[in-house]
């Protein structure tokens, strides 16, 4: 008997009581009962996004909200700046390209964070309608410095658009305080829900841009969504069960408190980082995000065998590397429904796997280092 254990940076495990909340009898969305839930959920999302503005809820993967950020604020031929330091940075300019938006790309070496001064010198040239960036680049485990990037655009006409799909709820991203203009997240990350919901908030500046945008849109038309909020509805049939789960998970996060939620992610991440260092492994991200830890595969070990063996021997899913990092790294999630001892299980399984693949180290040294962090 082996339990299935999921440690990929999204989808993450879902709490049992949240799964059961979503297994309640179906209710119709055009009822007072559902409208009350939606109202509560929107309040909870404002709290999570740390914004006074409305948070839109879309039945889509996070990418849908990324596309929405582009098509609702821009017009054909607009020039934007894209930070591309991984698979999701790439996605920004691919979406722009699909819609005829000209993207100047700041290519960041995988594993590194973008240089704020490089963004600054680009912005000085002027003419950029928006800067697109990830808070957490899940493919590399990097945290890009959102606060100073948002500060650059704050009193300008340029939007700061942040994909925080694998960051919001894991690290502090106060939307209004920092002056982000569009902030995006997805259900299957720190919110510990199944995939299928995207959430996005816009600043007043971003909402003003929607009035001028001429790119075509229908399903992801943010203005239509905003209008439907007046009647406590969504523009199209919402993913009802996921919203029931969202109501529950937001309530639990509020009980835990934002500071504690961030501290939890920081603790799990630090325990994992210390464990990996104790095993003699290098971290891949120069500026690691607390959502996940990307670890370099040691020399002489086949990286793809690590994930394969974890799956076969321990029924455990962690993430390998993608594209440029394929076979070179493995990634362990901290965001979602995880507690301290969960990290012990994943570190233990990684130790057993590395040992089996011939990597030499004192067995238990990683777990020991993690426990020291978790103890304090």
Cα→Cα distances 38→56, 184, 293, Å: 11, 18, 34
For a second copy, the closer of residues 198 and 347 by Cβ is 198
Contact 24, 163 (CB under 8 A): no
Instruction: Between 188 and 203, name the residue whose CB sits nearer to a second copy.
Output: 188
Segment interacting with a second copy, rule: CB under 8 A, options 106-114, 187-195, 199-207, 267-275: 187-195
**Cβ pair 12, 336 in contact under 8 A:** yes
The only residue of 1, 2, 26, 124 in contact with a second copy, by rule CB under 8 A: 26
Burial class (CB in 10 A: 0-12, 13-18, 19+), 62: buried
Establish if 339 lies at the interface with a second copy (CB under 8 A): no
Q: Which is nearer to a second copy, 233 or 365 (CB)?
A: 233
Contact yes or no for 98/128 (Cβ under 8 A): no
Show the 3-state SS of 85-148: CCHHHHHHHHHHHHCCCEEEEEECCCCCCCCHHHHHHHHHCCCEEEEEEECEECCCCEECCHHH
Burial tier of 333 (Cβ tally within 10 Å: 0-12, 13-18, 19+): buried
The vertex-269 CA angle with 335 and 333, nearest 5°, equals 40
Q: How far apart are CA 295 and CA 331, in angstroms?
A: 6
User: Which residue of 145, 174, 195, 327 would you call a contact of a second copy, by CB under 8 A?
Assistant: 195
Cβ nearer to a second copy, comparing 220 with 359? 220
Size of the site for a second copy (CB under 8 A): 54
Question: Binding to a second copy by residue 19, rule CB under 8 A?
Answer: yes
Considering only 8, 283, 295, 309, the residue that binds a second copy (CB under 8 A) is 8
With CB under 8 A as the contact rule, the residue among 311, 323, 339, 356 that binds a second copy is 311
214 touches a second copy by CB under 8 A: no
Which stretch in 106-114, 219-227, 263-271, 281-289 sits in contact with a second copy by CB under 8 A?
219-227
Contact between 216 and a second copy (CB under 8 A)? yes
Window 84-123: residues binding a second copy (CB under 8 A): 94-95, 98-100
Subset of 350-369 contacting a second copy (CB under 8 A): none
Instruction: Tell me how far apart the alpha carbons of residues 176 and 67 are, in angstroms, rounded to a whole number.
Output: 22
User: Applying CB under 8 A, does 59 fall inside the site for a second copy?
Assistant: yes
Q: Is residue 188 part of the contact set for a second copy (CB under 8 A)? A: yes
Q: Compute CA distances 226 → 4, 42, 56, 162, 200, whole Å.
A: 40, 12, 7, 20, 11
Task: Confirm or reject binding of residue 321 to a second copy (CB under 8 A).
Answer: no
User: Tokens 């325990």 map to which residue?
Assistant: 271
Query: What's the closest the beta carbon of residue 274 comes to a second copy, in angstroms?
Result: 26
Q: Applying CB under 8 A, which of residues 105, 215, 229, 352 lies at the interface with a second copy?
A: 215
Q: How far apart are the first and last CA of the chain?
A: 33
Query: In the set 44, 62, 85, 298, which binds a second copy (CB under 8 A)?
Result: 62
**Contact region with a second copy (CB under 8 A), list: 54-62, 106-114, 142-150, 256-264:** 54-62
**Per CB under 8 A, 331 contacts a second copy:** no
Position among 2, 25, 255, 300 found at the interface with a second copy (CB under 8 A):
25
DSSP string for 254-305? HHH-HHHHHHHHHHHHHHHHHHHHHTTPPBS-SSB-TTEEEEEPPTTS-HHH
Q: Is the peptide bond before 364 cis (omega within 30 degrees of 0)?
A: no
**Interface residue list for a second copy (CB under 8 A):** 4, 6, 8, 10-14, 19-20, 22-32, 59-64, 67, 94-95, 98-100, 186, 188, 194-196, 215-221, 236-242, 311, 317
């Amino acid at each position: 008997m082996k339990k299935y254990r999921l440690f990929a940076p999204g989808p993450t495990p879902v709490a049992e009581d949240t799964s059961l909340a979503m297994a309640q009898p179906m209710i119709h969305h055009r009822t007072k009962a559902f409208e009350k839930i939606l109202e509560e959920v929107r309040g909870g999302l404002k709290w999570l996004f740390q914004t006074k503005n409305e948070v839109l809820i879309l039945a889509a993967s996070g990418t849908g909200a990324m596309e929405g950020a582009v098509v609702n604020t821009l017009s054909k031929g607009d020039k934007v700046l894209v930070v591309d330091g991984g698979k999701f940075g790439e996605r920004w300019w691919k979406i722009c390209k699909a819609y005829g938006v000209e993207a100047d790309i700041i290519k960041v070496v995988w594993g590194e964070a973008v240089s704020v001064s490089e963004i600054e010198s680009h912005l000085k040239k002027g003419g950029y309608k928006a800067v697109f960036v990830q808070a957490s680049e899940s493919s590399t485990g990097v945290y890009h410095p959102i606060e100073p990037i948002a500060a650059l655009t704050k009193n300008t006409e340029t939007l700061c658009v942040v994909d925080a799909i694998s960051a919001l709820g894991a690290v502090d991203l106060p939307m209004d305080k920092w002056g982000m203009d569009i902030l995006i997240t997805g259900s299957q990350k720190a919110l510990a829900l199944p995939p299928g919901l995207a959430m996005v908030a816009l600043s007043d500046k971003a909402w003003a841009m929607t009035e001028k945008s001429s790119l075509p849109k229908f399903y992801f038309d943010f203005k239509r969504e905003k209008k439907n909020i007046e009647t406590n509805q969504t523009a199209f049939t919402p993913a009802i069960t996921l919203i029931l789960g969202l109501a529950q998970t937001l309530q639990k996060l509020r009980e835990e408190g934002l500071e504690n939620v961030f501290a939890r992610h920081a603790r799990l991440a630090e325990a994992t980082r210390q464990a990996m260092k104790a095993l003699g492994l290098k971290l891949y991200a120069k500026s690691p995000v607390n959502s996940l830890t990307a670890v370099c595969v040691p020399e002489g070990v086949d990286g793809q065998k690590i994930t394969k063996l974890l799956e076969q021997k321990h029924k455990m899913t962690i993430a390998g590397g993608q594209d440029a990092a394929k076979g070179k790294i493995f990634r362990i999630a901290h965001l979602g429904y995880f507690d301290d001892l969960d990290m012990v299980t994943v570190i233990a399984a990684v130790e057993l796997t590395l040992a089996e693949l011939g990597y030499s180290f004192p067995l238990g040294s990683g777990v020991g280092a993690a426990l020291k962090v978790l103890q304090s």
